[in-house]
Homo-oligomer: A and B are copies of this chain.
Amino acid sequence: MAATETRRQITEAADALFYERGFEATSFADIAAAVGLSRGNFYYHFKTKDEILEAVIDLRMANTRAMLAGWAAGADEPAGRIRSFIHMLIANRAGIMAHGCPVGTLCSELAKLDHVAKDRAAELFGLFRDWLALQFSALGRGDDAERLALHLLVRSQGIAALATAFRDETFIRREAAAMETWLAGELPGLAKSDLSIPNA
């Protein structure tokens, strides 16, 4: 197999395992087994665990950018795009209840380890913050755009944290709906009908 393809497979397997089990709790052997590779060969592709982490963060940055671009393409109005962000909580509820938010839990773990990559992981939050701020700016809230963006991140992170602890789907839906109500209040020009709660 081509080295780049194997590297891609390793990175994707590590991405999933880091999310499901955590960075420290995932061993080389776990990743190698997931890809169907021997431990020895593994080191041909990645020399250290930190190198894998770097590749995983790069992958998540790329995936996040693609997701945000998809949301932007999927809705003409900034309010609808923000709703896509909120809806993510419902769409990913199973994973969130089992393993939390991939971004928040990674940042938290790396902060405790005082890992060199902790700031790079925080840039994942930065992507969401900047993208949300852009939508609020387009809605005429330029002065408050970053504050409003961070407030949405706060609530989504809090929902994820408590959903992991209590594993209560109703709670997620209710708090997501409350976020939409808040959004409507911040954007008085918006029609109520544009802010119904997603069911998917």
Tell me the A residues contacting B by CB distance below 8 Å.
20-22, 24-25, 98-101, 104-105, 107-109, 111-113, 121-122, 125, 147, 150-151, 153-159, 161-162, 164-166, 171, 174-175, 178
- Enumerate 9 A-B pairs (CB-CB under 8 Å) in ascending A order: A21-B113, A99-B112, A108-B108, A125-B165, A154-B158, A154-B161, A154-B175, A157-B157, A158-B158
Question: Whole-angstrom distance between the alpha carbons of A164 and B158 in the complex?
Answer: 13
Chain B residue contacts of A104, Cβ below 8 A: 108, 161, 165
Chain B residue contacts of A171, Cβ below 8 A: 150
Nearest CB to that of A118 among chain B residues? Answer: B165
Q: Apart from A108-B161, A157-B162, what are 17 other A-B pairs with CB-CB below 8 Å?
A: A20-B112, A21-B112, A22-B113, A99-B111, A99-B112, A100-B111, A101-B161, A104-B165, A107-B165, A111-B165, A150-B162, A150-B171, A150-B175, A153-B162, A154-B158, A154-B159, A157-B158
Nearest CB to that of A98 among chain B residues? Answer: B111
Cβ of B112 and Cβ of A100 under 8 Å apart?
yes
